[in-house]
Amino acid sequence: MLALLLAMVAMALGPAPGAAAEGDAGWWNPTARPAPDSQINVTGEPFKGTDAKGQVRGFVDAHDHIMSNEGFGGRLICGKAFSDQGVADALKDCPEHYPDGSLAIFDFITKGGDGKHDPNGWPTFKDWPAHDSLTHQQNYYAWIERAWRGGQRVLVNDLVTNGVICSVYFFKDRGCDEMTAIRLEAQKTYDMQAFVDKMYGGPGKGWFRIVTDSAQAREVIQQGKLAVVLGVETSEPFGCKQILDVSQCSKQDIDRGLDELYRLGVRSMFLCHKFDNALCGVRFDEGALGTAINVGQFLSTGTFWKTEQCTGPQHDNPIGLAPAPQAQKELPAGVAVPSYAADAQCNARGLTDLGEYAVRGMMKRKMMLEVDHMSVKAAGRAFDILESESYPGVISSHSWMDLGWTERLYKLGGFAAQYMNGAEGFSGEAARTKALRDKYQVGYGYGTDMNGVGGWPGPRGADTPNPVKYPFRSTDGGSLIDRQTTGQRTWDLNTDGAAHYGLVPDWIEDIRLVGGQGVVDDLFKGAESYLRTWGASEQHKAGVNLAAGAPASASSAEWNPFISYAPGRAVDGDTGTRWASDWNDDQWLRIDLGSPGVVKRVTLDWERAYGKSYRIEVSTDDVNWQTVWSTTTGDGGLDTARFAGVPARYVRVHGAGRGTQWGYSLHEVGVYSS
């Protein structure tokens, strides 16, 4: 079992008198902070309101895991985000780690060495939290409070677990059902809100506010508080596991699951994570780690990852051929990890039919889709669906999306954030996408992934030529931020790195010193951009398909004595039927909309026989035709043609060059005026 744990390594996953030292009493300071407790070490009133343009200000963490200690069987992440029994209870190690960490199995696997450490948290914190200690609580409520005081205004709390890690880990105090863990983590987040409220005098008075729509988030930020959004990142949502490529869930399971998550307050989610499931294929992990997780995939699903050559410039992470001997020992006799061709860097598994159903179900519920961790084949199809409906609710929250999709995301109206890398790396990646942010006038975000078993920025060193100098001013200039102290330990970003969530403001100051004020300015616009994406998703209205059921004709229709491929099959609303032409290049499908109207968008859901070169033509009289859109690089799938609005009664898809040896074949054609 210890060997199998290696396969899971990358899964994601002060005292009352001191309160007076934080500054004069104000709405931002509680009336009854527990004693003893952590210090905040920030003075000054948190900024309220909006800028001169009516836009909210502040940072957004698009990917955090406050309650992951409640997932994975309850003993993988040691410590709690809060406790009614106080800091000494909240910030204590797992019982099996005492007295010297000898049984800190997961700590040993993730950090290396022998896993030994001083298990004492409060009040000494000798060995944890630390930037490279991945199994100890980093999201204590007072540390999140410090990040809010330092300028953060939106936090996405991704409810997270993994049934396979839970099942193979030695220590647990509860079952491994993923949805049970998600429900518990959601409830604990609401409990934390009540815990903070109690300090401030009652319900609704605290700074930690769970929000369920963008208007509510803006109101919370207007008050100067932190808007907390619930998301989900798990490997088998709704029980959608696959075993030997057979789905273990149904459309009804997906609908029930989405409805339940929505009732819990969840507004964004991943459909797959680390393992291929019944909804989509995943973006690989690399090297020995990828080999180890591939073993875990086999033990969970009965199949290894399957690769193929990529059809476009985007690609998944290369699996590599590096062995992971200890993990491979867990495979049954006679079973071996397959080898992979170096030029096949894409997961052969994309978005399944159930996955497409889930994407459309999220759109109906105005939820935002997280595309990180999706294979490029799955993400590409997800983008196709979103584009076909002009749906803006797409998020890349922590650098697991191929950068080649970035403009496609921004063009839809989506939001992107970068993993909490070190200041140099973060600034460098921010520079690579700066031109696109300027083009689409969007802000930037970060995904801390705290408690997600991923690792965080290490120290740049006390002798770095441009260290963080304490105290420093917050980005808005209204708060003074000093070194953070909890119990007997004081952290300094220069020498400790990003050890816990309270060091987020220090890390942002480090980015300013390394990458320049421009990077921080983009980050400070992040909350507004995130809320624009969310708000546009809520306001989205599905377009009326003017072609639905309309009369259709074609240059030809493939004959079959058993199945009809007539032109009307492409406008009958059934994706299981299709129009198919004869097998030559010059073919067309014509749709009569019945009366003239404005046309701006045409969607084409191709069967395997697709058009590589084709054009969209319109006419008001069925005699004079105008080309409004064309391509010579079609690649099949779901295409969306957008163009300036034109009056039309007739719309024609005119093929000029086939993408296969067959003719042209369309499951559905949609025509829209918006």
- Residue 470's SS3 state is coil
Give how far Cα 651 sits from Cα of 33, 455, 550, 624, Å.
Answer: 67, 54, 11, 12
The phi and psi torsions of 347 (rounded to 5 degrees) equal -65, 130
23 pLDDT tier (thresholds 50, 70, 90):
very low
Instruction: DSSP letter for 130, please.
Output: -
Q: What is d(CA 501, CA 286) in angstroms, rounded to the nearest whole number?
A: 27
The CA-to-CA distance between both ends of the chain, in Å, stands at: 56
Two structure tokens written together for 401 = 């999306």
The 10s digit of each residue's pLDDT in 174-204 is 999 999 999 999 999 999 999 999 999 999 9
Q: What is d(CA 176, CA 647) in angstroms, rounded to the nearest whole number?
A: 57
Tallying the residues shown for the chain, one arrives at 674
The phi and psi torsions of 265 (rounded to 5 degrees) equal 105, 5
24 pLDDT tier (thresholds 50, 70, 90):
low
- Residue 497's SS3 state is coil
Q: What is d(CA 520, CA 513) in angstroms, rounded to the nearest whole number?
A: 10
- Residue 671's SS3 state is strand
Two structure tokens written together for 572 = 């009958």
Give how far Cα 29 sits from Cα of 45, 83, 493, 531, Å.
Answer: 9, 19, 25, 27
Compute the average pLDDT of residues 543-564. 96
In DSSP notation, 525-558 reads THHHHHHHHHHHHHH--PPP-TTTT--EEES---
pLDDT at 507 over 90: yes
Compute the average pLDDT of residues 203-209. 97
| pTM given for the model | 0.92
Longest CA–CA separation in the chain, Å: 87
447 - beta bridge partners?
419
Two structure tokens written together for 375 = 């294979």
- Nearest residue to 455 (alpha-carbon basis) of 128, 20, 130: 130
pLDDT at 27 over 70: yes
The 10s digit of each residue's pLDDT in 254-286 is 999 999 999 999 999 999 999 999 999 999 988
Compute the average pLDDT of residues 407-433. 97
Element counts in the chain: helices (H) and strands (E): 20, 25
Q: What is d(CA 483, CA 506) in angstroms, rounded to the nearest whole number?
A: 8
* Residue whose entry in the numeric block shows the structure tokens 């994975």: 72
Task: Note the helical H segments in 157-286.
Answer: 163-168, 178-199, 214-222, 251-264
Highest mean pLDDT among 32-36, 164-168, 586-590: 586-590
pLDDT of residue 2: 35
pLDDT of residue 16: 35
Query: Comparing 106-120, 374-388, 454-468, 524-538, which segment has the lowest mean pLDDT?
Result: 106-120
Query: Comparing 162-166, 477-481, 563-567, which segment has the lowest mean pLDDT?
Result: 162-166
The 10s digit of each residue's pLDDT in 161-177 is 998 888 888 899 999 99
Q: What is d(CA 146, CA 506) in angstroms, rounded to the nearest whole number?
A: 10
Q: Supply the mean pLDDT for the chain.
A: 93
**Amino acid identity for residue 167 in this structure:** S
Q: What is d(CA 272, CA 278) in angstroms, rounded to the nearest whole number?
A: 9
6 pLDDT tier (thresholds 50, 70, 90):
very low
Give how far Cα 169 sits from Cα of 15, 106, 177, 593, Å.
Answer: 36, 8, 14, 60
Domains, the chain: 59-79+131-281+349-461+518-539 (3.20.20.140), 283-347 (no CATH), 552-672 (2.60.120.260)
Q: What is d(CA 454, CA 68) in angstroms, rounded to the nearest whole number?
A: 13
- Residue 435's SS3 state is helix
Q: What is d(CA 23, CA 271) in angstroms, rounded to the nearest whole number?
A: 45
Residues in CB range of 41: below 8 A, 6 or more apart: 22, 146, 481, 482, 483, 484, 485
Residues in CB range of 165: below 8 A, 6 or more apart: 5, 8, 11, 13, 72, 73, 76
Query: Comparing 75-89, 166-180, 464-478, 583-597, which segment has the lowest mean pLDDT?
Result: 166-180
Cis peptide before 237 (omega within 30 of 0): no
Cis peptide before 34 (omega within 30 of 0): no
Cis peptide before 123 (omega within 30 of 0): yes
pLDDT at 621 over 80: yes
Q: Are 371 and 283 in contact (CB under 8 A)?
A: no
Q: What is d(CA 518, CA 567) in angstroms, rounded to the nearest whole number?
A: 55
Q: What is the CA radius of gyration of the chain?
A: 27
